[in-house]
Amino acid sequence: MNKQAELDSLLQQVAVSGEKLTGTDRRDFLRKGLTFLGAATATAAAGHMPTVKAALPPEEPAYGKTLGKPVLFAPYGSPSKYESHVQRRTVEWLTPDRISSISFTPLADLKGIITPSGVMFERYHAGLPDVKPQEHHLMIHGMVERPIILSMDDLMRFPSVSKIHFVECPANGGMEWRGAQMNRLQFSHGMIGCAEWTGVLLSTLLEEVGVKPEGKWILAEGADGSHMSRSIPLEKALDDTLVVYAQNGEMLRPEQGYPVRLVNPGWEGNTSIKWLRRLEVGDQPWYHREETSKYTDLMPDGRSREFTFVQECNSVVTNPCPEKPMMKPGKVWVEGLAWSGRGKIKHVDVSFDGGVTWREAKFTSEVFPRALTRFGLEWDWQGQPAMIQSRAIDETGFVQPTYGQLRAARGENSIYHKNAIHTWKVNADGSVVNVQIS
């Protein structure tokens, strides 16, 4: 019996048993029964709603027979309490403590291409600082004609733009280089989020201070305890780098760099410095810790690539996935996310047989450059085991590589920039497992 049928049957039993009781006893029984079933459902498949018979027509649900809460019950609203399983989560063994650590976006439960700000992955190098906007300043100096210090009010007077882009940690999927390891989508691909970012083009600010002709690189530095710093080529800074103060229509969340951060579209997330306090123009890169000791890619011959900025074309199926197993045989809407740091996604193909045959998926969202793009296609599942893969192609013609191709080029020790075609194995019982195949 598949899981949905099992649940339906349990619910039926509860409903039937409940009929024999009356008044308080019956209500109590139903309440307890449903609580139990709620837990059972979450166990079987987090996020899938059970079909509660009592709420089906001709019955009237309780919330239709009473008044609800008044306006301003929650002056700043939160998600429904029934969605409390949609949370950022961390993998404890990755870091020695939670202060300098990372949490993951719950991709399996998200819709569309915009990541809700409250569940976008976190990455701190010295914890989450409490930055007061009135105290915060951004200094721009170095090889410029007019070094300036901007308050947040000053910064927000400049002409603003809003752009939809993903931000992805280059270590996303890094635990999979040596073999399939993470048993859920949240951990295999969740170091990514996509948002509408509002702020000032860095080129506007650089024009304001007047970069001297010898200026070739920018150092961006955070105000937190790590004073996280990265060198960014002037070419990128003048192209599309944003100095961002708002995300998804509201001021940045503290976790995302409140009150101001950089966003380098399509590049390693760590270059998008949070709690940004300083931009310095220089004539060569600084080779700081987070661009030498970390965030460099070790090759099998012992050499390491430096300044590997671009997040290459990647994709993953989000339904089904380990957190969203197959519920019952029949037509299934298979969907997923694709993205490329080099521009727009052009095609996404999906295979159900481990890469023997492929079908092109449809785009079910808008397609923006350097943004998450959602794809989907219909699949008829009759309980047969399958190996689902997705393969994205970006507008440069680059085709997402296989694990074999990636390892042939880079070995298994480079930690960062793993963008191989991912495989979900669907078992006959509907469960889904992360596997790597030959």
x/- site string to other proteins, residues 300 to 339, per CB under 8 A? xxxxxxxxxxx-x---------xx----------------
Q: Which is nearer to other proteins, 16 or 409 (CB)?
A: 409
Tokens of 107: 């991709």
Q: Is 34 in the site for other proteins (CB under 8 A)?
A: no
Q: Is 184 in the site for other proteins (CB under 8 A)?
A: yes
Q: Is 42 in the site for other proteins (CB under 8 A)?
A: yes
State the CB neighbour count (10 A cutoff) for residue 21: 13
Contact window for other proteins (CB under 8 A) among 61-69, 114-122, 256-264, 350-358: 350-358
Out of 123, 189, 417, 418, name the contact with other proteins by CB under 8 A: 417
CA nearest neighbour of 339 among 361, 319, 367, 360: 367
Are the C-beta atoms of 351 and 388 separated by less than 8 Å? yes
Alpha-carbon gap, residue 43 to 23, rounded angstroms: 30
Q: Which is nearer to other proteins, 20 or 93 (CB)?
A: 93
State the CB neighbour count (10 A cutoff) for residue 295: 24
Q: Is 206 in the site for other proteins (CB under 8 A)?
A: yes
The CB-of-411 to other proteins minimum distance in angstroms stands at 9
Q: Can you tell me whether residue 247 is helix, strand or coil?
A: strand
Secondary element (H or E) of residue 388? strand 386-394
Q: Is 363 in the site for other proteins (CB under 8 A)?
A: no
Alpha-carbon gap, residue 392 to 17, rounded angstroms: 51
Q: Is 274 in the site for other proteins (CB under 8 A)?
A: no
Alpha-carbon gap, residue 178 to 353, rounded angstroms: 23
The CB-of-16 to other proteins minimum distance in angstroms stands at 25
- Looking at residues 213 to 272 of the shown chain, list those that interact with other proteins (rule: CB under 8 A): 219, 221, 225-227, 229
Spatial CB neighbours of 105, under 8 Å, sequence gap ≥ 6? 88, 115, 119, 120, 121, 186, 190, 191, 192, 193
Q: Are strands 148-151 and 137-142 parallel, antiparallel or unpaired?
A: antiparallel
- Please state the length of the chain: 438
Q: Is 422 in the site for other proteins (CB under 8 A)?
A: no
Residue type, 176: E
Q: Which is nearer to other proteins, 211 or 337 (CB)?
A: 211
Q: Is 393 in the site for other proteins (CB under 8 A)?
A: yes
Q: Which is nearer to other proteins, 196 or 268 (CB)?
A: 268
Q: Which is nearer to other proteins, 86 or 367 (CB)?
A: 86
Secondary element (H or E) of residue 39? helix 23-44
Within 101-177, residue ranges assigned H as helices are 152-155
Q: Which residues of 366-401 are buried (b: 16+ CB within 10 A; e: fewer)?
A: eebbbbbbbbbbebebeeeebbbbbbbbbeeebebb
x/- site string to other proteins, residues 131 to 170, per CB under 8 A? --------xxx---xxxxxxx--xx-xx------------
Beta bridge partner(s), residue 362: 376
Q: Is 102 in the site for other proteins (CB under 8 A)?
A: no
The CB-of-20 to other proteins minimum distance in angstroms stands at 27
Q: Is 43 in the site for other proteins (CB under 8 A)?
A: yes
The CB-of-349 to other proteins minimum distance in angstroms stands at 7
Out of 318, 401, 416, 426, name the contact with other proteins by CB under 8 A: 401
The CB-of-304 to other proteins minimum distance in angstroms stands at 5
Contact window for other proteins (CB under 8 A) among 114-122, 239-247, 355-363, 368-376: 355-363
Q: Is 77 in the site for other proteins (CB under 8 A)?
A: no
Q: How many residues form the binding site for other proteins (CB under 8 A)? A: 113
Out of 1, 67, 71, 356, name the contact with other proteins by CB under 8 A: 356
Alpha-carbon gap, residue 380 to 374, rounded angstroms: 20
DSSP state for residue 54 in the 8-state scheme = G
The CB-of-385 to other proteins minimum distance in angstroms stands at 11
Q: Is 192 in the site for other proteins (CB under 8 A)?
A: no
Are the C-beta atoms of 169 and 268 separated by less than 8 Å? yes
Are the C-beta atoms of 30 and 16 separated by less than 8 Å? no
The CB-of-343 to other proteins minimum distance in angstroms stands at 13
Contact window for other proteins (CB under 8 A) among 113-121, 182-190, 363-371, 377-385: 182-190
